[in-house]
């Protein structure tokens, strides 16, 4: 156990060095925050444009919150896909990571810790921008901390699990890896009702959206932080049902992520794709 | 420049354009990725307007923004970062030993980029018309084409300037491109009328051609429903001025930064 923690720490330190050594810390923080803040401001611009005709501040706050937490998916899920791509294509070091005592799964786990920390920082800053600059506020006394903490923890586990699956896909499919990473980011943005209630999706898409942990995660975070969600369909669910569904979906994705990653890695080894460079 | 040099540059331009068009067509995954993915984001923004109960004309704004965002992505990643990709592939030096002008190569890249992005944007137009049922005002095709042309000229001239800057960059190129995506969408009012930003929108439009281009295209297609920033004619003049300015800047900075990159030994430096 102690050895595993030491390896995780080494991988996290390595990840931090790789992710940040191209710039000084201040510049790195600015670059890391620009994208999530700007996405929040785009939503704010859209709201400002229509707010005089259709005041819907409560709904907008809920959607803004979903967008803030989607930073976890962008940073961690997509980031883990990019780790494989960078190691193989750009630095041509993937095979060395595989043969190192650390191993790729531990390297991915460690580096995901760094990405989780960066994502968390981004979420806090985006929420602060919302609170202070856009006046998207809520009543802190109404926040249900135990449920919120549980939902947050489940969402983080789901995020890392899906990240492993994306990394596995990157191992097996070198050429379309960029498209998979970028495609998944926008597909999840649409499918999980990040900035709109999933009720607006066609019925068949709603069923898929409800099976994804992120849809339930955003809805749970909204409910336990603001007191209300965005989706009318999920609003009928009790808190226990919502948390239960989130836990179930997360467990399913933990299993899919673990089994899927190792199956994809084995297949990639067999096909000789671990050091197959296609871009640079 | 004599006639022989001009002929060489035109041939170089055509050759680079050919590579861009054929290269894009040879990679179906990229084609699908570039054509479909930006439209998924666009769908999310349209549904946000729907969730807020906004008038239908705002959905049209978001659709147009989504379509034009594909051009901006191409300007950043296909123009600006292209020399960075070439450097990583180890073939940037070939650009510099070629006898033709670098501007000719960049122009070929830009023309090929516009052609391929226009082909991809058909998907966005189809999504807008058949899924979201957007409506646009009846407009003269020649006028619309003229505005489109001047907008693209300004954007791709800016892309040429970026590409010269990225000669010096290593991994920063990647991060700069990322930093110029969503923040530019916000400052340019890609998914909402730029007027909603007030004075900030006006200042942004004065320095970034994307905002003016988006606003001009919207005004041409939506008329008063576009909630335009300034009269369309003024925007077209400003875009033409931006084109001249960025072409000049690209030429000057390409020459200067090429020299600097050579002096600092960064032209062939990979994995920075």
Residue A100 burial by Cβ neighbours in a 10 Å radius (0-12, 13-18, 19+):
middle
User: CA of A187: which chain B residue's CA is closest?
Assistant: B40
Q: What is the pLDDT along chain B (272 residues), one digit of tens a residue?
A: 678 889 999 999 999 999 888 887 777 767 777 777 778 889 999 999 999 999 988 999 999 999 999 899 999 988 888 888 887 777 888 888 888 888 899 899 999 999 988 988 888 888 888 988 888 877 778 888 999 999 999 999 999 998 887 776 666 777 788 888 999 999 999 999 998 888 888 888 778 899 999 999 999 888 877 888 889 999 999 999 999 999 999 888 888 877 877 787 776 666 55
Looking at residue B271, what is its pLDDT? 59
Residue (of A211, A203, A12) closest to A117 by Cα position? A12
CA distance B5 to chain A (A): 32
Rg (CA), chain B: 19
Range list of H helices, chain B: 3-26, 28-52, 56-73, 82-89, 92-97, 102-126, 141-165, 172-179, 182-187, 199-207, 209-222, 232-263
The predicted pLDDT at position A2 comes to 85
Helix extents (H) in B53-97: 56-73, 82-89, 92-97
- Within 8 A of A54 by CB-CB distance, chain B residues are 52-54
Which residue, chain included where needed, has tokens 């000229």? B153
Tell me what ipTM this predicted complex has: 0.91
SS3 B238: helix
pLDDT at site B272: 58
Q: Nearest 5 degrees, angle CA A119-CA B73-CA B39?
A: 80
Element (H, E) at A211: helix A203-211
Residue with tokens 């409910």: A223
How many Å apart are CA A108 and CA A8, to the nearest integer? 9
Query: Residue B243 and residue B157: Cα distance in Å, rounded?
Result: 6
- Compute φ and ψ for A202, nearest 5 degrees: -60, 155
Summarize pLDDT for A45-101 with one digit per residue, the tens.
Answer: 999 999 887 777 889 999 999 999 999 999 999 999 999 988 888 888 898 998 888
- Give the pLDDT of residue B186: 94
Tell me if B179 and A196 make a contact (CB, 8 A cut-off): no
Kindly report the CA angle at A47 between B56 and B178, in degrees rounded to 5?
A: 105
Q: Give the span between the Cα atoms of B113 and A228, in whole angstroms.
A: 46
List chain A pLDDT tens, one digit each, 280 residues: 888 899 999 999 998 998 888 778 888 888 889 999 999 999 999 999 998 877 778 899 999 999 999 999 999 999 999 999 888 888 888 989 988 888 999 999 999 999 999 999 999 999 999 999 999 999 999 999 999 999 999 999 999 999 999 999 999 988 778 788 888 888 999 999 999 999 999 999 999 999 999 999 999 999 999 999 999 999 999 999 999 999 999 999 999 999 999 999 999 999 988 888 776 5
Question: Is any Cβ of chain A less than 8 angstroms from the Cβ of B31?
Answer: no
Closest CA to A232 of A189, A196, A199: A199
| Residue B64 contacts A where some CB pair is shorter than 8 Å | no
pLDDT of residue B229: 87
Mutate to test the interface with A, among B32, B47, B52, B186 (most CBs of A within 10 A): B52
Q: For residue B250, give the nearest of B80, B47, B41 by alpha carbon.
A: B80
């Amino acid at each position: 156990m102690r050895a595993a923690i030491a390896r995780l720490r080494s991988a996290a330190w390595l990840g931090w060095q790789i992710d940040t050594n191209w710039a000084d810390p201040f510049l790195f923080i600015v670059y890391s925050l620009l994208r999530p803040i700007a996405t929040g401001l785009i939503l704010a611009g859209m709201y400002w444009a229509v707010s005089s005709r259709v005041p819907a501040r409560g709904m907008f706050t809920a959607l803004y919150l979903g967008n803030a937490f989607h930073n976890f998916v962008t940073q961690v899920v997509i980031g883990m896909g990019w780790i494989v791509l960078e190691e193989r294509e750009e630095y041509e070091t993937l095979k060395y990571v595989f043969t190192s005592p650390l191993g790729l799964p531990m390297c991915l786990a460690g580096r995901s810790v760094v990405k989780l920390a960066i994502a968390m920082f981004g979420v806090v800053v985006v929420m602060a921008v919302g609170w202070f600059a856009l006046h998207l506020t809520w009543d802190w006394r109404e926040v249900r901390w135990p449920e919120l903490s549980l939902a947050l923890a489940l969402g983080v586990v789901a995020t890392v699990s899906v990240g492993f699956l994306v990394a596995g896909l990157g191992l097996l499919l070198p050429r379309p890896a960029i498209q998979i990473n970028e495609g998944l980011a926008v597909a999840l943005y649409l499918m999980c009702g990040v900035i709109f209630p999933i009720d607006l999706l066609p019925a068949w898409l709603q069923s898929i959206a409800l099976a994804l942990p992120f849809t339930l995660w955003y809805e749970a975070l909204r409910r336990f932080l603001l007191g209300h969600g965005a989706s009318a369909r999920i609003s009928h669910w009790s808190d226990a049902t919502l948390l239960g569904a989130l836990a179930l979906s997360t467990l399913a994705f933990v299993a899919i992520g673990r089994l899927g990653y190792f199956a994809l890695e084995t297949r990639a080894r067999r096909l000789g794709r671990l050091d197959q460079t296609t871009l640079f | 420049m004599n006639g022989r040099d001009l002929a060489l540059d035109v041939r170089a331009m055509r050759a680079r354009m050919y590579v861009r068009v054929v290269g894009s067509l040879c990679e179906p995954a990229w084609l699908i990725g570039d054509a479909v993915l930006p439209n998924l984001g666009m769908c999310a923004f349209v549904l946000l307007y729907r969730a807020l109960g906004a008038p239908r004309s705002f959905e049209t704004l978001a659709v147009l923004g989504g379509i034009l965002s594909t051009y901006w992505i191409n300007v950043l990643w296909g123009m600006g970062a292209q020399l960075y990709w070439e450097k990583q592939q180890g073939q940037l030096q070939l650009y510099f030993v070629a006898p033709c002008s670098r501007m000719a190569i960049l122009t070929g890249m830009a023309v090929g980029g516009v052609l391929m992005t226009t082909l991809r944007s058909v998907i966005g137009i189809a999504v807008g018309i058949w899924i979201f049922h957007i409506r646009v005002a009846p407009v003269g095709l020649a006028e619309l084409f003229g505005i489109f042309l001047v907008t693209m000229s300004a954007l791709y001239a800016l892309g040429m300037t970026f590409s010269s800057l990225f000669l010096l960059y290593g991994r920063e190129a990647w991060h700069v491109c990322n930093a110029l995506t969503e923040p530019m969408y916000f400052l340019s009012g890609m998914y909402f009328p730029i007027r909603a930003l007030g004075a900030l929108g006006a200042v942004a439009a004065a320095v970034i051609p994307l905002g003016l281009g988006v606003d001009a295209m919207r005004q041409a297609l939506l008329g008063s429903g576009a909630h335009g920033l300034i009269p369309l004619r003024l925007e077209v003049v400003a875009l033409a001025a931006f084109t001249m300015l960025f072409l000049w800047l690209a030429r000057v900075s390409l020459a200067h930064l090429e020299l600097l990159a050579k002096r600092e030994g960064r032209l062939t430096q990979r994995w920075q």
